[in-house]
Amino acid sequence: MLYRTIVAGGESVQRERLEQLLDGDDEASLAALAALCAGASHVVWDGTTSAESLARIYGRRLRLTLRKGIETTGLEQAVQGLSRYGGPVRLGQIRAIDGSWTFMLFLDQDGSALVACTGVRQTPPMP
């Protein structure tokens, strides 16, 4: 079976399946894959959300991060991808083992395809 229940609540796509889905050529997916392979935690929540509403939310986040100088990866592409997709999406998250990055995953309704991926730095880079 593709999904398994995790202690943190909701269902999660198995780690190996997420690794396959993140094996793309964009910077955000590659960074999320590297974090996952290094032991990052991950979750994919139950239920779906409108890609259109997420595009609006993450569009605001894009403007905010640009204004505040917060480092992101793939955020503009994620907003564009969600705007184009239009269908329901499942949300997932990968947190780097050192806490430095959090990646948001936007999967199709059944979790079989990656619609978009973005990451935001949680801690300042080391000098």
Q: What is the pLDDT of residues 63-78, one digit of tens each?
A: 999 999 999 999 999 9
Please tell me the predicted confidence (pLDDT) of residue 123.
75
pLDDT value of residue 63: 97
118 — pLDDT class (breaks 50, 70, 90)? very high
Alpha helices in the chain (DSSP H): 15-21, 27-37, 51-68, 75-85
Nearest to 115 by CA among 28, 38, 39: 28
Q: Where do we find the tokens 């990866």?
A: 73
Look up residue 76 and give its two tokens: 């503009």
* Residue 119, beta-bridge partner list: 73, 103
Rg of the Cα atoms in the chain = 14
Model confidence pLDDT, tens digit, residues 11-60? 345 888 999 999 888 999 999 999 999 999 999 998 999 999 999 999 99
pLDDT at 106: 97
